[in-house]
Amino acid sequence: MKSKIRFLPLALVALLLAGCAGMSTQPKATTIIPEVVAKNGMVASAHPLASQAGLEILKAGGNAIDSAVATAFAIGVVEPNATGLGGEGYIVIYLKDSDKVTSIDYRSRASLTDATGETWPKEGHRAVAVPGTVAGLSKALEEYGTMSLAQVVEPAARLAEEGFPVSQTLAEVISDNYKRAMPNDYLMSIIAPTGLPLEAGDLYKNPDLARTLRLIGKEGPDVFYKGEIAKLIAQDMAANGGLIDEADLAAYKAIEREPAHGTYRGYDVVSAPAPVGGFLLIEALNMIENYDIRSFGFYSAAKLHLFSEVLARTFDDYYDVLGDPDYVDVPMKALTSKGYANAKAASIKLDSMTTSYEPVDPNSEHWSTTHLSVVDKAGNMVALTQTLSSFFGAAVAVPGTGIILNNEMANFNKKKGPAAYMPGKRMNTTIAPTLVMKDGKAFATLGTPGSVRIVPTLTQIVTNLIDYDMGIQEAIEAPRMFCTYLQGPGKTKMDIESFLFPEEEIAGLVGMGYKLNSYDALDLYFGGVQGIIVKNGKLHGGADPRRDGAVLGY
C-alpha cells in the first residue's frame, strides 16, 4: 500500500540538503534522530512504548529473547495497523554462549479446507489465514527465554488496558483505512469509538485485548489455538463466511528452521529462510560483492542502476522458486551460493539497462559455496519481523477479544508453481529479519516492514554499514530507492527519495532510461528500519523517522 507523502519540517529538510550538498561519495553524519548508545542492553522497535516494554524486561533480568517477545506483544498493541495476535512473523536468534543461530517460522497458513480456484479478497473473513503470532512468540520464549509468558505479556496488557496517545502516523493510517473498516462494527469500536476515526492525541484503548493477553499469559498458547479464544475466532468465521475453524487452529504449529546463511565482504549474514525473503537479501549481496560500490560513490547513478539490475534478478527467484518448504523443494544452499549469484550477475551492464537475460537454474550444477531488534548484555541478539499483511489486515476484528486479523490469503493470488495455493500451505512474503556477524561476534540486527520493498531496503542498509562505513542511524536515514522489475528504457519505474540526491545523478538515471517516481521527503513507503550494531563494545541503535521508530538502551 503506497503511503501519502510525509513532509518533514522545512528546517530538517534544509539540514539534510546541507548535509549532502556537493557530495558525490557518501552522506555526512547528519541525522534527524540522534543515534542511541548504551552498554548493557538495547531495544529498537517501531514505537517508543513497545521499546520501553522490551527495555523493562531487560532491566528485570530477562535476556534478548524475553525482551523481543515482550516487545513483539507490545508492538501489536501500539502499532495495531501493522501487527498483532491475529498476524504472523519470523524471528532470527543468535545465542552467544552456544554460538548458535536459529529461526522460528510463525507464518500464517491456509485453512485445511480445500478452496482451490478461489480468488482471495483483501478484506473480510475470507481473506484471513490461520494466525501464527501467539504460537511463534510462545515457542521462542519456551525454547530460548528465561521468563514466563505471563511476565512478558504484562507490559502489552497494561498498554492495551490503560491506553496510549495516537501518533500522527497511526492517525493517518486509521483515516486511510476507515472505509475498509466500516463493514466491521467491532473493529470500528476500536479505531473509531465515537463513529469518527481516532485522531492524533486521542487515547487509543483496547481493554478486550488486555484481557486476551492476560488469558494467554495465564493459560499459554493452547487457549488461543484450542481453548476459549479459538472458539471465539471459529464462531466469528462461521458467522461471516470465513474458512478457519477450530481444527485449523488446533493444527497450527510454529516451526524452528535453519536460517539462510551467506557472507558479504567478510561479514556473516543470517536471515529468515523459505518461505520468506531472507535468502533474497543474501543473493542480492552476493551479486553486489562483485563490484567496488564504494568507488562508485553513494549518490551515483551507476550505483543506483546496479542495485536495480541486481534486485530485478533477485526477485526472479521470489516469483519462480520460493515456496513453503513443507510442500515444495526450495534449493536454499544453491540460491545463497556465490557461484549462483556470480552467474546471475554476469549479464549486468553498468552503462545501460538490461531488458532481457537468460535465467540461471539454481539446480543446474553444484555451486561451490543465506522489524524489531534486541541485543542484551550477554551478547545475545534477535531480529524479529511481524505483519498483518495489509494495514489492519482483513479489516476484521474478533468480537470480545480485541484481536485484529490478517489478510494473508490474498498473497496466494496470481501465484503459480511453488508459491501457488494449497490447503494448509504457508504463503510467500519478503519479510527478512536479519543478523550480521563479524569474526564470530555480533555486529548488527536489522529488519523492516514494507512489502516487496523489504529486501531492497535491507540491501541498501547492509551496504551502507559495510561499504560506506555509516553509523546505524546514518545508514537508516540515508535516502532509498526501489526498483525490482526491468521493462526497458522509458518504461522501467524507479521509486526514489530524490530530494537528497544531486541533480546530475538524477539526470544520469533519466539518461539511462529510468522513469523516476520521486519522493520529496523521507517516506514510510520505503519501510521503517529498526536496527542495532555492536561497535567497540557498545550498542548503537537506530530508528527510522519514516515511521514512529524508537531506540531505548541502558
Q: Is the pLDDT of residue 354 over 90?
A: no
The three grid cell numbers given for residue 460, joined into one nine-digit string: 541498501
Give pLDDT tens digits for 419-431: 999 999 999 888 9
Instruction: Tell whether omega for the bond before 9 is within 30 degrees of 0, i.e. cis.
Output: no
Instruction: In whole angstroms, give the CA distance from residue 535 to residue 472.
Output: 10
Lowest mean pLDDT among 202-216, 346-360, 532-546: 346-360
* pLDDT over threshold 90, residue 3: no
State the average pLDDT over residues 527-549.
93
pLDDT digits (tens, 9 = 90+) for 198-236: 999 999 999 999 999 999 999 999 999 999 999 999 999
E strand residue ranges, 200-354: 203-204, 255-257, 260-264, 267-271
Q: Record the cell numbers describing residue 97, joined without a space.
A: 554462549
Domains with residue ranges and CATH for the chain: 46-256+373-419 (no CATH), 269-369+451-523 (1.10.246.130)
369 in active site = yes
Top pLDDT among 287 and 334 is at 287
pLDDT above 80 (res 30): no
Of the candidates 133, 169, 212, 369, the residue annotated as catalytic is 369
Per-residue pLDDT band at 261 (split at 50, 70, 90): very high
What value does the mean pLDDT of the chain take?
91
Q: Would the pLDDT of 2 be above 60?
A: no
CA distance 379 to 63: 9
pLDDT at 342 over 80: yes
Residue-wise pLDDT for 401-424, tens only, equals: 999 999 999 999 988 899 999 999
Pairing assessment for the beta strands 42-45 and 550-553 based on DSSP bridges: antiparallel
Alpha-carbon distance 134 to 213, whole Å? 10
pLDDT class of 334 with cuts at 50, 70, 90? confident
Task: Categorize the per-residue pLDDT at 62 as very low, low, confident or very high, splitting at 50, 70 and 90.
Answer: very high
Distance from the first to the final alpha carbon of the chain: 36
pLDDT at 9 (0 to 100)? 38
Quote the distance between the C-alpha of residue 336 and its chain's center: 20
3-state secondary structure of 263: strand
Mean pLDDT score, 106-132 = 97
Cα–Cα dist 237/233, whole Å: 6
Answer for the pair 185, 218: CB distance below 8 angstroms, yes or no.
Answer: no
Name which of 325-329, 404-408, 452-456 the model is least confident about: 325-329
Amino acid at 21: A
The DSSP code for 405 is: E
pLDDT band for position 24 (50/70/90)?
A: very low
With bands split at pLDDT 50, 70 and 90, how would you rate the model's confidence at 365? Answer: very low
Q: Which helix (H) or strand (E) holds 89?
A: strand 88-95
Q: At 320, is the pLDDT very low, low, confident or very high (cuts 50, 70, 90)?
A: confident
Query: For residue 311, what are the contacts with CB-CB under 8 A and spacing of at least 6?
Result: 284, 455, 456, 459, 483, 484
Contact indicator for 515, 493 with CB cutoff of 8 Å: yes
CA distance 211 to 203: 18
DSSP lists the bridge partners of residue 186 as none
| Residue with the three cell numbers 527478512 | 432
pLDDT at residue 20 is higher than 60 = no
- Torsion-angle region of residue 491: left (phi > 0), alpha (psi -120 to 50) or beta? alpha
**What is the C-alpha separation between 219 and 381, in angstroms, rounded?**
28
Backbone phi, then psi, for 237, in 5-degree steps? -65, -45
Listed in sequence order, the DSSP H helices in 289-398 are 293-296, 301-320, 332-335, 338-345
Residue 151, CB-side half-sphere exposure with 13 Å CA sphere: 19
User: Per-residue pLDDT for 362 more than 80?
Assistant: no
User: Does the pLDDT of residue 368 top 50, yes or no?
Assistant: no
Task: Give every CB contact of residue 329 below 8 A, 6+ residues apart in sequence.
Answer: none
Cα 238 from Cα 81, distance rounded (Å): 24
**% of the chain residues with pLDDT over 90:** 80
Q: Residue 11 pLDDT more than 50?
A: no
Q: 99, exposed or middle or buried, with CB in 10 Å at 0-12, 13-18, 19+? A: exposed
Q: Exposure of 488 by Cβ count < 10 A (0-12 exposed, 13-18 middle, 19+ buried)?
A: exposed
